[in-house]
Amino acid sequence: MPETTTALSRAHHTIPPLNPRNPNRMAIRILINLARFAVTYVVATVVVFLFMRLIPGDPAQIALGVNATPELLEQTREQFGTNRPLIVQYFEWFGGLLTGDFGTSYVTRTDISPMVLDRVQVSLILVLTAMVVALLVAIPLGTWAAVKHRNFSGVAIGLGSQIGVAVPGFLAGILLVIVFAVGLGWLPANGWTAPAVDFGDFIRRLILPVVALASVQGAILTRYVRSAVLEVMSEDYLRTARAKGLSKNGALLKHGLRNAAIPVITVTGVQIAALIIGAVVIERVFVIPGLGSMLLDAVGNRDMLTVQSVVMVLVAITLILNLVVDVLYTLIDPRLRRSA
Amino acid sequence: MMRRKNAILTTAAIATAAVLGLAGCSAGAGNSAGSDGETPTTATIALTGTPTNLDFTTTAGSAIPQALMSNVYEGLVELDQSGEIQPLLASEWTVSDDRKTYTFTLQEGVTFSNGDEFTADDVKFSFDRVKTDWVSSLKAKMDVVDSVEVVSPTEVAVTLSKPSNAWLFSLATPVGAIFSEDAVDDLANTPVGTGPYAVEAWTPNESLVFDTRDDYWGEAPGVEQVTLKYFADATATTNALQTGDVDAIANLQAPELLSSFESDDQFVVTTGTSSGEVSLSMNNQAAPFDDVRVRQAVLYALDKQAILDTAWNGYGSLVATYAAPTDPYYEDLNDAYPYDPEKAMDLLAEAGQENLDITFTVPTRPYAQAVSEIVVSQLKDVGINATIESAEFPAVWLDQVFTQHDYQMTTVLAVEARDILTVFNDPNYYIGYDNSKIAPIAEEADAADEDGYVDGMKQVAEQIVDDAASGVLFLFPNITVAKADLQGMPENAIIEALDLTNLSWN
């Protein structure tokens, strides 16, 4: 575990850190980040575009279903524009992306952009709320487990988190529905209400999916927090702080947690990105109209444009999160700013 | 030190504000259903299998006509719950002596949901449009129409190139739907028909909301609004019904979930019949099923009652081919291939196909997954080793099986009503049945009088069964679970339409 965390934190130190006292370095760092962002994004467009054309299945065929004839298939491909050269299709789509227009889905015959915007909000609300809950649980629990790692309570938290990690999110979801919705009738079993429509109902429908997501994430994060805190507890500076007269807990609070935060933030950033798409199973169980279920439906219908658009939104979110994590480092770790 | 702590706090605050800010937007502005008022005025129906869009003139899939026919679109005629043709937009019609000209008298005072008046011109427009604008093989059902003549605003004469029994029936199906000339620009999102409901909101993959029209020409439904809510799987629908989010589940595809409702008097479970056959399709044009003896052996090898009991908890009924008891030409042919493993093995020996290895292509659908294992085990008992190959449905199945005919055996739920000729009277259809024997009988039957039609179609069905063209494992049940107070959910699914026009609350 400690190996993983150091590897993770090291990976993020490869580009020079932001330094307010050295504007040049800072500008270079931002430029490098942006360039990396752009290159990754463009490469991703090519990959997702080609991948959708490599998997079997033809949107025209799905549209016509068992009412297809060869002539009608040709007519539909023509109408969808899927019979044009790939390079033409790619650049048309890419051109739209640059202007923020994802185009019109030939499956639903509606504009993709407003649909994605709507869905991405749902996913972000779900995932960010779950992440906040997970962190609120994981930070105190993980710290406690590290400080008391030789005591019963610490070992119990370690074991509990191990079990939490092993439970798949959908199983947690199904169990929560059986107990709290179908069994006790306290909360709705599924569905989604927009907060602007009915805030109370929005909250009631948010609780179970958030608990399902947060329980697994909380367990994962608890383990990261625990190992990160354990690692800093053996550092020299903590021993020095104690030698200065600080209590064990005082030293940990004043000097330890800040250092332990770095790997935890990395993991949190990675997990948020993974969760937005990973929440698809939870979205299915709880019938939540998020980005993940949109992607799943679109793949099933070979709705190429929608799949590509959703994936590119996910790529953008991931890249933005990486940038945010990078900025957070410098805010937390003074060494990163003072280094020459 | 303090400054940096503040920075962390600020970041956290910004993140929280962002979450709350987003929450303020109308994220996922779907509908919320189910208020526990005194007398509900709305009904929410749960369905699995969502329409991809609302245009059945260019998009296949039974989910679209299921939602829209009867409710939004109407035809000149409709099918009642016992499968009989009844007047709808046509109050009556006469047939000429040569049975080629139908003169329909239209209902008066009918308007479309956009306010347009319904006249004979709309009938002509809609029928002609099938030939010109529909992108679907269903449009062939209108090929027999020679001309559509507007006699007066309330009278329309349709002349066929030859007499056709099937044509009048097809007017009750989507090809008979009447459109308004001014409202066909965006059929995928804004359908406009003469039915009692108008589409109020449509969110792909989520829900379709109907408002009851107060200017409907016929008897209005007893609810003000109906929401069709689409779910990815059956469990989610039963959970939603149990917690009161929906009022009924139409066409439930998970009989194992029924027990908790059957014992609860808050709910009513009905198991009607449908037009959907769960097929056991064999590729008649490829080895080994190009040999009639091998196909017959398969039919003898299957204990269909056991399959129905195991795979679908006994719900549904046994039929021999693509004819349902609600079809006029139905006859019970179940005795043609009784369960007889000995005979199956004899036939296989005769065909020189002992220890036969085949591939069974199973689409990723609940019914298909449910039947596959038991079919394989029964086939194994007579020496046929079937290997299951899963095919993503619809994408891969349509491509591999339906279009390329690259399969030996498969199963699929064929939902189209009266589809026996669609499936078997075309050697290029994926089953590849040699239709030389049935084609002349079918043609004669279509042109004959009503008795001649029924007799002829019976012969067609018998011939198909004789040739063991393909099997039907069972006729799909139409399982409906509804709150006990909700009246008017249709019991049977004889055509694709889910007729919600009689909904009301007790």
Residue B10: is its pLDDT beyond 50? no
Strands across the sheet with B155-160, in order? B90-95, B101-106, B155-160, B145-152
Question: Which range, of A271-285, B58-72, B411-425, averages the lowest pLDDT?
Answer: A271-285
Strand B409-410 versus strand B267-282 pairing type: antiparallel
Q: Any residues with CB less than 8 A from the CB of A129 and at least 6 apart, and which? A: A206, A210, B19
- Does B240 contact A189 at a Cβ distance shorter than 8 Å? yes
* B232 in contact with chain A, both atoms CB, cutoff 8 A: yes
8 Å CB contact between A44 and A88: no
Q: Which of B189, B206, B236 sits opposite A109 (nearest CB)?
A: B189
Q: Which of A62, A76, A297 sits opposite B135 (nearest CB)?
A: A76
Q: Which tokens in the block code for residue A136?
A: 């609120």
How many CB pairs below 8 A link A and B?
A: 181
Distance of residue B61 Cα from the nearest chain A Cα, in angstroms: 7
Average pLDDT score, chain B: 90
How many Cβ atoms are within 10 Å of B104's Cβ, its own excluded?
A: 23
What span, in angstroms and rounded, lies between the C-alpha atoms of B405 and B403?
6
Strand B267-282 versus strand B356-363 pairing type: unpaired
Return the residue of A nearest to B134 by Cα.
Answer: A72
CB contacts, 8 Å: B261 with chain A? none
Return the residue of B nearest to A257 by Cα.
Answer: B5
Question: Which range, of A21-35, A279-293, B127-141, B260-274, averages the lowest pLDDT?
Answer: A21-35
- Does B28 contact A290 at a Cβ distance shorter than 8 Å? yes
Residue A239: is its pLDDT beyond 80? no
Say if residue A259 is exposed, middle or buried (CB neighbours under 10 Å; 0-12, 13-18, 19+). buried
- What pLDDT is attached to residue A253? 73
**A274 or B277, which is more confident:** B277
Question: Which range, of A138-142, B35-39, B169-173, averages the lowest pLDDT?
Answer: B35-39
Report residue A6's pLDDT band, with 50, 70 and 90 as the boundaries: very low
Return the residue of B nearest to A70 by Cα.
Answer: B403
Distance of residue B273 Cα from the nearest chain A Cα, in angstroms: 22
Place of tokens 């330890």: A256
- Does A72 contact B135 at a Cβ distance shorter than 8 Å? yes
Residue from B244, B289, B246 nearest B45 by CA: B246
Tell me the residue type at B203. T
Q: What is the pLDDT of residues A178-211, one digit of tens each?
A: 889 888 889 998 889 889 889 999 999 999 999 9
Place of tokens 């709290």: A180
Share of chain B above pLDDT 90, in %: 85
Residue A208: phi and psi, rounded to 5, are: -60, -50
Distance of residue A93 Cα from the nearest chain B Cα, in angstroms: 21
What span, in angstroms and rounded, lies between the C-alpha atoms of A280 and A277?
6
Q: What is the pLDDT of residues B80-122, one digit of tens each?
A: 888 889 999 999 999 999 999 999 999 999 999 999 999 999 9
CB contacts, 8 Å: A66 with chain B? 60, 398, 402, 414, 416
Question: Which range, of A30-34, B171-175, B356-360, averages the lowest pLDDT?
Answer: A30-34
Say if residue B103 is exposed, middle or buried (CB neighbours under 10 Å; 0-12, 13-18, 19+). middle
Report residue A228's pLDDT band, with 50, 70 and 90 as the boundaries: confident
3-class SS letters over A91-144: HHHHHHHHCCCCCECCCCCCEHHHHHHHHHHHHHHHHHHHHHHHHHHHHHHHHH
DSSP secondary structure of A200-243: HHHHHHHHHHHHHHHHHHHHHHHHHHHHHHHHHHTSHHHHHHHH
Residue B332: phi and psi, rounded to 5, are: -75, 105
Return the residue of A nearest to B414 by Cα.
Answer: A66
CB contacts, 8 Å: B53 with chain A? 107-110
Return the residue of B nearest to A332 by Cα.
Answer: B4
Judged by DSSP in three states, B339 sits in coil
Report residue A329's pLDDT band, with 50, 70 and 90 as the boundaries: confident
Q: What is the pLDDT of residues B287-346, one digit of tens each?
A: 899 999 999 999 999 999 999 999 999 999 999 999 999 899 999 999 999 999 999 999
What span, in angstroms and rounded, lies between the C-alpha atoms of B274 and B77?
19
Q: What is the pLDDT of residues A138-159, one digit of tens each?
A: 888 888 888 787 788 778 887 8
Tell me the residue type at B353. Q
Give how far the C-alpha of residue A238 lies from the chain's centroid of Cα atoms, to the nearest Å: 33
- Does B138 contact A67 at a Cβ distance shorter than 8 Å? yes
Residue A137: phi and psi, rounded to 5, are: -85, -45
Return the residue of A nearest to B52 by Cα.
Answer: A108
Q: Which of A110, A125, A181 sits opposite B22 (nearest CB)?
A: A125
* B137 in contact with chain A, both atoms CB, cutoff 8 A: yes
Among B132, B203, B205, most A C-beta atoms within 10 A, so best to mutate, is B205
Cα three-residue angle B64-A57-B59, rounded to 5 degrees: 20
DSSP letter (8 states) at residue B498: -
Q: Which residues of B184-216 are buried (b: 16+ CB within 10 A; e: fewer)?
A: beebbebbbbbbbbbbeebbbbbbbbbbbbeeb
What span, in angstroms and rounded, lies between the C-alpha atoms of B459 and B453?
10
- What pLDDT is attached to residue B22? 43
Distance of residue B338 Cα from the nearest chain A Cα, in angstroms: 31
Q: What is the pLDDT of residues B265-281, one digit of tens each?
A: 999 999 999 999 999 99
Residue from B427, B498, B488, B480 nearest B220 by CA: B488
- Does A293 contact B24 at a Cβ distance shorter than 8 Å? no
Distance of residue A184 Cα from the nearest chain B Cα, in angstroms: 10
Q: What is the pLDDT of residues B473-487, one digit of tens each?
A: 999 999 999 999 999
DSSP letter (8 states) at residue B398: I
- Does A108 contact B59 at a Cβ distance shorter than 8 Å? no
8 Å CB contact between B447 and B164: yes
Residue B33: is its pLDDT beyond 70? no
Within 20-59 of B, beta carbons closer than 8 Å to A belong to: 22-30, 32-33, 50, 52-53, 55, 58-59
Mean pLDDT of B171-183: 95
CA atoms within 13 A on the CB side of A257: 15
- Does A287 contact B231 at a Cβ distance shorter than 8 Å? yes
Between the alpha carbon of residue A198 and those of residues A115, A238, A307, B193, the distances in Å are: 20, 50, 30, 32
* B396 in contact with chain A, both atoms CB, cutoff 8 A: yes
* B209 in contact with chain A, both atoms CB, cutoff 8 A: no
CB contacts, 8 Å: A124 with chain B? 19, 22
Distance of residue A36 Cα from the nearest chain B Cα, in angstroms: 24
Within 70-89 of B, beta carbons closer than 8 Å to A belong to: none
Q: What is the pLDDT of residues A38-47, one digit of tens each?
A: 899 999 999 9
Tell me, what's the ipTM? 0.82
DSSP letter (8 states) at residue A181: I
Return the residue of B nearest to A200 by Cα.
Answer: B32
- Does A72 contact B53 at a Cβ distance shorter than 8 Å? no
Q: Which of A76, A110, A118 sits opposite B29 (nearest CB)?
A: A118
Residue B16: is its pLDDT beyond 80? no
- Does A68 contact B398 at a Cβ distance shorter than 8 Å? yes
What span, in angstroms and rounded, lies between the C-alpha atoms of B170 and B96?
19
Q: Any residues with CB less than 8 A from the CB of A36 and at least 6 apart, and which? A: none
> For the CA atoms of chain A, what is the radius of gyration?
24
Q: Which residues of B140-150 are buried (b: 16+ CB within 10 A; e: fewer)?
A: bbbebbeebeb
